[in-house]
Amino acid sequence: MNPVEYQRMFEAEESQWWYRGMRAISLALLRPALGEPAPDAVKLLDAGCGTGNNLRHLAALARTIGVDLSAEALRFCRSRGVTVAGGSLLALPFAAARFDCVTSFDVLYHRWVEDDRAAVAELARVLKPGGLLLVRVPALKLLWGAHDEAVHSRHRYTRGELRALLGSAGLEVLRVSYANSLLFPLLLLRRTLDRLSGRHGSDVGFLPAPLEWAFFNLLAIEARLVGWGLDLPLGASVFALARKVDTGRPRQATA
């Protein structure tokens, strides 16, 4: 990712509508799946942690550590006071079966992840049997636009593609849901105009306060729906929650 994007991310992650809303949806998926163990009893890795703000929020659920390939990202993480290590998704610097939970938010789609199947296999390798993996990636090729070029995207996924990708690593897929669904028509219009106008640059930034409030609350509604067990049928992002199969117990049917 361009260094300037890390600065924008660092400044926006806590309060900008998209980051807040995606975090709410992530927690709505993860909390019920983890149950209510003491946070110290759960070891969680955020793989491709960026500037580290998700680690601060995930610390309410688990003992957290992040890993990222970028020295610039790690510098921002350390300024937040979170625990991080340098490393690639394709060769994580951790022993097998170390973590109860692994998260990876908007990483697998990057151009530097040349083999997303190998990356998912590596995420599965560091999970304990029965451990949970939560992944988020951008969705749907028709939404390709200036933002994708600015953040070095390689691919936008469908729900079926993400399900198959996790299944290729032998993971049991529990949930697959699109997100940023209620704003989908507006996002599609924006990306179409990007292509027609030749606009360049990312979408990371703050909107006028009324729009920030409105857009976040639409994502908060989606978080409630996802928390109630509803998988959304269309959206600009796609989430998948999966479990590493414990060979000591029967495998359940996938969602």
pLDDT grade for 254, boundaries at 50, 70 and 90 = very low
Judged against a pLDDT cut of 80, whether residue 10 lies above it is answered with yes
Which residues make Cβ contacts (< 8 Å) with residue 143, sequence separation at least 6?
A: 156, 187, 188, 191, 236
DSSP 34: H
Mean pLDDT for the chain overall: 90
Amino acid identity of 111? Answer: R
Q: In this predicted model, what pLDDT tens digit does every residue of 113-156 receive, in sequence order?
A: 889 999 999 999 999 999 999 999 999 998 887 777 766 777 89
Q: Are 226 and 28 in contact (CB under 8 A)?
A: yes
The model's pTM is 0.91
Q: Are 102 and 123 in contact (CB under 8 A)?
A: yes
Q: Are 45 and 126 in contact (CB under 8 A)?
A: yes
* Closest by CA position to 183, among listed 18, 35, 60: 18
Which residues make Cβ contacts (< 8 Å) with residue 28, sequence separation at least 6?
A: 223, 224, 226, 227
Judged against a pLDDT cut of 80, whether residue 195 lies above it is answered with no
Query: Which domains are assigned to the chain?
Result: 3-244 (3.40.50.150)
Question: What per-residue confidence (pLDDT) applies to 253?
Answer: 43
Amino acid identity of 183? Answer: L
pLDDT grade for 191, boundaries at 50, 70 and 90 = confident
Helical H segments across the chain, by residue range: 3-12, 17-34, 53-58, 71-80, 116-125, 146-150, 159-167, 184-197, 209-227
Q: In this predicted model, what pLDDT tens digit does every residue of 32-87 receive, in sequence order?
A: 999 988 888 999 999 999 999 999 999 999 999 999 999 999 999 999 999 999 99
Which residues make Cβ contacts (< 8 Å) with residue 120, sequence separation at least 6?
A: 108, 135, 165, 166, 168, 169, 171
